[in-house]
Amino acid sequence: MPLKKDADKDVYFMSEALKEADAAFEEDETPVGACIIHEGKIIAKAHNQVELLKDPTAHAEMIAITQAAAHLKNWRLEGCTLYVTKEPCLMCSGAIFMSRVPRLVFGAMDEAAKGLRDLIHPGYESSLREMEIMGGVLADPCQKILKEFFKKVRGKSGN
């Protein structure tokens, strides 16, 4: 399917990240999905696997970054775009910056943690390299799956 406009590409690739979030939901993981694009092709796809791997760093973004670096045989992910269904936490934001991803597109804002927004808070931005950041792409479905998941989790715990 040829995609001409950046907005069309963003919606298409965020839809792919949402498929990963759906997989996480089915595995009782916090439903966050990510994919990394290089030269118009998906080179990495991942979803949260914190519970499965018993690893607090097994966020979708971290796994996708590792996959993309292996694919490119380079830790510098220059020329890539990372799509993630939820605003990255502080840990993932650091990894995104360190891996040199030049463009980040995310869906739902994280109103509780604000990790990415904390990292680019006034005073820090002068020490960070330039990165294009776009939030709110398919925000409604990205937020909806998170709300459904946490409603399900609260139902299981009896809270």
- Which residues participate in catalysis according to the annotation? 61
Sign of the torsion formed by the C-alpha atoms of 27, 149, 84 and 125: negative
CA angle (68 as vertex; 32, 135 as ends), nearest 5 = 40
Q: Cβ distance 47 to 33 under 8 Å?
A: yes
DSSP secondary structure code for residue 27 in this structure: T
| Residue closest to 101 by CA, chosen among 120, 75, 137 | 75
Strands 132-134 and 103-108: parallel
